[in-house]
């Protein structure tokens, strides 16, 4: 008696026990369902900027510590652009003022992070002939109306270092407005709505355009498009119902998979409610995928049940056979699904960790809501009328032909050639897959989306809205005023300018030079760093004391002079730029140590993205390996076979390759949003492989290997084909239907994964079993039967 037989007998005994006490069993499932379902109303779908950051990453720890002083990275960037001429018209200047004032009253705004030429803190400082320093707002209180005054203002702005190229584009055609928001829970819909209203108001006369980018606006767009989810969900459900109906042609065939999927969702989402998690709209595709996989488990059970009925079994016997036969493979498949998802929980990115925890639980719930509940429900429902021949089903017809092909000697060349094409093609495209964003703007939206057009336009007009903050930190007060430290900051800024997407810097040396010049009657030669710490301190004090609003120095350093914020602007935040920026900064600072000063990486959108990318890079490798190891170990211990684990590895490896190849081909960066989707997607194929291997083992008991493979392909293979079609059918509408590029691309990616896994499971896997005749399969074979 071998181990696998023991498993079989145990699962049969367990199935019989539960079927014999079906109402108690159902009650035991119903109670937790009710408890979990109670928390469903607590679920909230919203996004939190901090959830996207790897909180254990050194950069984020530093960023979190520093953002209290220097502000966060959750910033909206707006550009008012004149459709003709420049912004120096009374009407346009009034619009700039109006917009600046209006964004300053949006809920969640950080008032210290609002800036534009119309904001009182952005000044024009000049000296009179008698040496009096006059600090005035760049935009006068009374906006000029005469041509002469407007021309004068234009010239002043063009010669103002603080404003030129930063808040007004170098051609004078656009003005920049910055607005920082808090990072805790924000009503992004409200922010988006208000900004959209302002955009309409500003563009109403056709004389100006308003471009808006930044994380809060991106979130706003995602929320805005979330309304499409209802439509997509409805279409998805409709497609699945239609496919189930066409396949099973019975009420039970539709009702049971939907009920199983629904119950499973209650468990998964119920846990979300109890744990107080939020659901980010961007990861909704993952629960959809889990639901699709739940449905596929249900279909496997339904298929097996109908096969048993077709073989002449009674309803009760068919349910017992189905439950007993599928308990092991379904449990392994579900366990591996859940384990793969649980791997995500090791991430330090809260959104991924939360996703891993509740999705693993959701997936694990299938053991109860599918493996146990579905057979019991079948027992309660009337016995369906099944097509005895089954050959009338399209999947069966196709799989019958496939079976004949796979078991024939001529299959070797086509199967190996296909695998070779996938491996070579996959490797070719996979090399282009990169960590981080691959294009400027947001990959979540299409390139021609309003948001990405705005991002592109703003980057064309201004120095760059993507900031990298490097913090210089010392225990010693006033150390940041030391000329020695300033010199390193200055050289650092020069060094960073060597990158092609460099846009500019904001650092203490630049400020000191600027203020020093102003206090020497604007003489350009006095744009120098004074030789002593005391002189530098005096200049910074004068800057702070002379400002219209308190705290202007906090853009540069803390009040004690212990920490400085050196900001480098870049034109985009693509993976390549982020990596190069961090590498350049690291290289320079490592070569220029300062006594008593530590260099802390990194804030701004570049710094936080770098942390995210590094975490993704680390997690991606770790998670892929962990998922593979967990899955292979589960298969190894179940079948006590290294060959079984190796076969699963082949399927998984192909899935990983296809995944990477598609991302490389489509230019989809691996980031915090795409990582969980790809991680979940990789494990999809395992289900099919396990069902296929288990069915061959089952069939080979009484048949030759060739016949067992043929039988598997026409039964389980048919179910695999159908479930893959069902899942793909369920998510395929996202591809053309979603306005969000992210959802569309992820749906495409997952569809490809499903199809490639399905093809691998019904072609390569049976071919490998046929060729290698693995022991874990053949030991089930009865000796009295022709092998």
Partner 1 sequence: MIRISAAWQLPATRLAVLWAIFAISWGAPTLWAQNSPDTGVNFIRTVDMVSAIVEDDTGQIIFSGKSGVVGTLSDAGAGMVARIFRTDVKDDFLVIEKVANDIVLLGSSKGDIYTYQKGDVKKIASLSAYSEPILDIDSHADLIWASGGRGLLATSTNGGGDWTGVEIGTVIQPELTLPSRQPGVWYLGVSNIDSESVVFNAQINGRPAVIDEDFELDVDEGRLTVFNQLDQGAASISFRFQPGPPYRGGDVTWSAVIADAGVVTLAGEFGLILQSTDQGKQWVRRDGVITREEPAQSYWLCGASRNGKIILGGAAGKIHLSSDSGLTWEPLPIDSQEGVFGVDFIDDDTPIVAGAVGLLGIYRGGSWAMADRTVLGLRSWGKNMLQLTGG
Which range of residues in 16-24, 250-258, 472-480, 495-503 is near partner 1 by CB under 8 A?
495-503
For partner 1, which residue of 480, 485, 529, 750 counts as binding (CB under 8 A)?
Answer: 529
DSSP codes of every residue in 531-561 = SSHHHHHHHHHHHHHT-SSTTGGGGTB-TTS
For partner 1, which residue of 46, 233, 255, 526 counts as binding (CB under 8 A)?
Answer: 526
For partner 1, which residue of 41, 312, 409, 524 counts as binding (CB under 8 A)?
Answer: 524
Residue 502 Cβ, how far from partner 1 at the closest point, in Å?
7
For the four alpha carbons of 332, 338, 340 and 346, in that order, the dihedral sign comes to negative
CA angle 313, 317, 323 (to 5 degrees): 120
736 scored as a contact of partner 1 (CB under 8 A):
no
DSSP-derived pairing of the beta strands 75-82 and 208-214: antiparallel
C-alpha span between 516 and 757 (Å, rounded) = 67
Mention every residue, 6+ apart, whose C-beta is less than 8 A from residue 251. Answer: 381
159 scored as a contact of partner 1 (CB under 8 A):
yes
146 scored as a contact of partner 1 (CB under 8 A):
no
Residue closer to partner 1 by CB (options 500, 783) is 500
Which range of residues in 50-58, 196-204, 522-530, 701-709 is near partner 1 by CB under 8 A?
522-530
527 scored as a contact of partner 1 (CB under 8 A):
yes
End-to-end CA separation in angstroms for the chain: 19
For partner 1, which residue of 520, 592, 618, 666 counts as binding (CB under 8 A)?
Answer: 520
Report yes or no: 92 and 208 within 8 Å, Cβ to Cβ. yes
Which range of residues in 44-52, 74-82, 240-248, 483-491 is near partner 1 by CB under 8 A?
483-491
Residue 460 Cβ, how far from partner 1 at the closest point, in Å?
13
* Edge-to-edge order in the sheet of strand 208-214: 109-115, 174-181, 75-82, 208-214
Tokens 């306005």 found at: 739
197 scored as a contact of partner 1 (CB under 8 A):
no
Tell me how many residues contact partner 1 (CB under 8 A). Answer: 39
Binding to partner 1 by CB under 8 A, coded x per residue (else -) over 576-615, reads ----x---x-------------------------------
58 scored as a contact of partner 1 (CB under 8 A):
no
523 scored as a contact of partner 1 (CB under 8 A):
yes
448 burial type by CB count under 10 A (0-12 exposed, 13-18 middle, 19+ buried): exposed
Bond prior to 602 in cis (omega within 30° of 0): yes
What angle do helix axes 285-310 and 684-700 make, rounded to 10 degrees? 10
161 scored as a contact of partner 1 (CB under 8 A):
yes
Which range of residues in 76-84, 358-366, 515-523, 679-687 is near partner 1 by CB under 8 A?
515-523
Torsion (CA) 282, 283, 288, 294 in degrees, nearest 10: 180
Report yes or no: 380 and 40 within 8 Å, Cβ to Cβ. no
C-alpha span between 710 and 704 (Å, rounded) = 10
439 scored as a contact of partner 1 (CB under 8 A):
no
Which range of residues in 164-172, 177-185, 434-442, 610-618 is near partner 1 by CB under 8 A?
164-172
CA angle 302, 306, 307 (to 5 degrees): 115
Report yes or no: 756 and 715 within 8 Å, Cβ to Cβ. no
Binding to partner 1 by CB under 8 A, coded x per residue (else -) over 113-142, reads -------------xxxxxx-----------
311 scored as a contact of partner 1 (CB under 8 A):
no
Residue closer to partner 1 by CB (options 161, 560) is 161
Which residue, among 734, 721, 706, 705, has the nearest Cα to 761 in the 3D structure?
A: 721
Which range of residues in 276-284, 356-364, 443-451, 488-496 is near partner 1 by CB under 8 A?
488-496
Binding to partner 1 by CB under 8 A, coded x per residue (else -) over 283-302, reads --------------------
C-alpha span between 488 and 589 (Å, rounded) = 9
Which range of residues in 11-19, 151-159, 330-338, 415-423 is near partner 1 by CB under 8 A?
151-159
207 scored as a contact of partner 1 (CB under 8 A):
no
φ and ψ of 514, to 5 deg: -65, -45
312 scored as a contact of partner 1 (CB under 8 A):
no
Residues that bind partner 1 (CB under 8 A): 126-131, 151, 154-156, 158-159, 161, 164-165, 170, 487, 490-491, 494, 497-502, 520-529, 531, 580, 584
């Amino acid at each position: 008696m071998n181990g696998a037989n023991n498993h079989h007998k145990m699962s049969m005994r367990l199935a019989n026990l539960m079927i014999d006490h079906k109402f108690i069993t159902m009650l035991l499932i119903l109670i937790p369902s009710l408890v979990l379902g109670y928390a469903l109303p607590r679920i909230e779908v919203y996004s939190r900027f901090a959830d996207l950051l790897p909180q254990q990453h050194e950069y984020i720890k530093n960023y979190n510590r520093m953002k209290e002083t220097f502000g966060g990275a959750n910033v909206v960037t707006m550009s008012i652009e004149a459709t003709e001429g420049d912004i120096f018209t009374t009407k346009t200047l009034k619009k700039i003022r109006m917009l600046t004032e209006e964004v300053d009253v949006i809920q969640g705004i950080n008032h210290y992070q609002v800036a534009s030429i119309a904001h009182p803190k952005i000044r024009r400082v000049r000296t009179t002939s008698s040496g009096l320093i006059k600090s005035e707002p760049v935009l006068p209180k009374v906006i000029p109306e005469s041509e002469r005054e407007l021309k004068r203002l234009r010239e002043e702005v063009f010669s103002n270092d603080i404003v030129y190229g930063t808040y007004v584009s170098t051609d004078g055609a656009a003005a920049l407005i910055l607005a920082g928001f808090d990072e805790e829970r924000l009503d992004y819909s409200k922010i988006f709505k208000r900004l959209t209203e302002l955009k309409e108001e500003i563009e109403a006369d056709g004389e100006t355009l308003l471009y808006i980018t930044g994380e809060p606006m991106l979130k706003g767009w995602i929320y805005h498009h979330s309304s499409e989810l209802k439509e997509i969900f409805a279409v998805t459900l409709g497609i699945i119902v239609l496919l189930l109906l066409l396949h099973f042609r019975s009420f039970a065939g539709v009702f049971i998979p939907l009920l199983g999927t629904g119950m499973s969702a209650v468990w998964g989402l119920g846990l979300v409610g109890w744990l107080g998690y939020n659901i980010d709209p961007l990861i909704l595709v993952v629960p959809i995928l889990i639901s699709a996989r739940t449905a596929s488990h249900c279909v496997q059970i339904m298929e097996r049940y109908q096969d048993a009925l077709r073989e002449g079994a009674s309803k009760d016997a068919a349910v017992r056979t189905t439950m007993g036969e599928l308990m092991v493979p379904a449990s392994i498949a579900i366990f591996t699904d859940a384990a793969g998802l649980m791997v995500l929980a090791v991430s330090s990115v809260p959104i991924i960790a939360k996703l891993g925890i509740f999705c693993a639980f959701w997936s694990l719930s299938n053991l109860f809501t599918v493996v146990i509940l579905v057979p019991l429900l079948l027992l309660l429902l009337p016995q369906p009328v099944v097509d005895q021949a089954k050959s009338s089903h399209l999947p069966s017809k196709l799989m019958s032909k496939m079976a004949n092909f796979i078991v024939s000697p001529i299959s070797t060349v086509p199967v190996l050639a296909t695998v070779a094409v996938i491996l070579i093609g996959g490797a070719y495209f996979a090399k282009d897959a990169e960590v981080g964003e691959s294009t400027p703007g947001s990959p979540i939206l299409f390139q021609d989306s309003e948001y990405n057009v705005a991002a592109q336009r703003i980057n064309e007009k201004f120095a760059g809205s993507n900031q990298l903050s490097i913090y210089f930190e010392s225990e010693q007060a006033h150390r940041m005023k030391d000329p020695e430290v300033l010199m390193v900051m200055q050289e650092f800024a020069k060094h960073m300018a060597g990158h092609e997407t460099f846009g500019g810097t904001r650092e203490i040396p630049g400020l000191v030079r600027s203020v020093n010049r102003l206090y020497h009657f604007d003489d350009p030669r006095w744009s120098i760093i004074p030789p002593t710490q005391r002189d530098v301190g005096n200049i910074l004090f004068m800057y702070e004391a002379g400002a219209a609003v308190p705290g202007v120095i906090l853009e540069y350093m803390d009040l004690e002079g212990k920490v400085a914020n050196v900001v480098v602007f870049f034109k985009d935040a693509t993976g390549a730029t982020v990596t190069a920026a961090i590498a350049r900064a690291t290289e320079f600072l490592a070569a220029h140590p300062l006594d008593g000063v530590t260099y802390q990486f990194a804030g701004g959108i570049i710094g936080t993205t770098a942390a995210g990318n590094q975490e993704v890079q680390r997690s991606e490798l770790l998670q892929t390996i962990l998922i593979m190891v967990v899955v292979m170990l589960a298969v190894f211990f179940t079948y006590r076979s290294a060959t079984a684990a190796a076969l699963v590895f082949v399927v998984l490896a192909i899935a990983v390759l296809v995944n990477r190849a598609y991302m490389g081909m489509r230019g989809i960066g691996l980031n915090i949003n795409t990582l969980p989707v790809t991680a979940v997607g990789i494990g999809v194929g395992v289900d099919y492989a396990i069902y296929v291997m288990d069915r061959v083992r089952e069939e080979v008991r009484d048949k030759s290997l060739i016949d067992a493979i043929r039988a598997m392909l026409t039964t389980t293979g048919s179910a695999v084909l159908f479930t893959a079609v069902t899942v793909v059918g369920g998510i395929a509408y996202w591809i053309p239907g979603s306005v969000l590029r992210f959802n569309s691309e992820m749906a495409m990616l997952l569809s490809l994964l499903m199809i490639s896994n399905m093809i691998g499971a019904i072609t390569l896997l049976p071919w490998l079993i046929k060729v290698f005749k693995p022991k874990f399969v053949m030991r089930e074979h009865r000796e009295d039967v022709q092998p």
